[in-house]
Structure 1
Amino acid sequence: MPTPTPDRSVVNSTTAAFGERVRSRRQELGLSQEAAAQRCGIHWTQFGKVERGQRSLRLETIVRIADGLAIDAGQLVSGLPLPEWRGRDQVQQ
């Protein structure tokens, strides 16, 4: 029986845009994924998934990444596209 291949798709447009920002900042600093991951306190394979938009993150992890990349967490998340949500139209504001 063949080994199932892991899903390598982007979670959504929000995670993709966040990952692009993380990659851009890492490159500005001249860091490899491994070096950046070490500074952020996460495993390099997980860091790569973040950059590819394949991980949806907890707030604590976003703050950790921002700290490791010497950038304000707000700069990484401000203006990101909203994730698709089926119930959005049903919520009254």
Structure 2
Amino acid sequence: IVNDVLCQAARQGNQDFRTTVEAYLPPLISAAASFEKCPKHIKKLQNLVSIWKSKQYTSDAVIPKLQEALAGSTVSATPEPVNTSLKLAKEAPFILPSFHGDAS
């Protein structure tokens, strides 16, 4: 799913989204690569990172971090903060409808 979203963001030129997501990619790849006894799984992740590099879905500065995460280095589970003006979902107004389910 992340690959598809990065592809769409690249096609539409959405650099803000890409920059925001890049902070979360190393911990995500590290978690996905934590299955040490699955070499096919690791190979798929390596191919994915190489695709992201060749198609420039991520910035060049993130690729070494992703390769480090694949190599088994410990990557911080908390991503680096990104200074963007994104509104958090929990800050969005939440309005319940006047009724739930069948109105009859």
TM-score (norm 2): 0.30
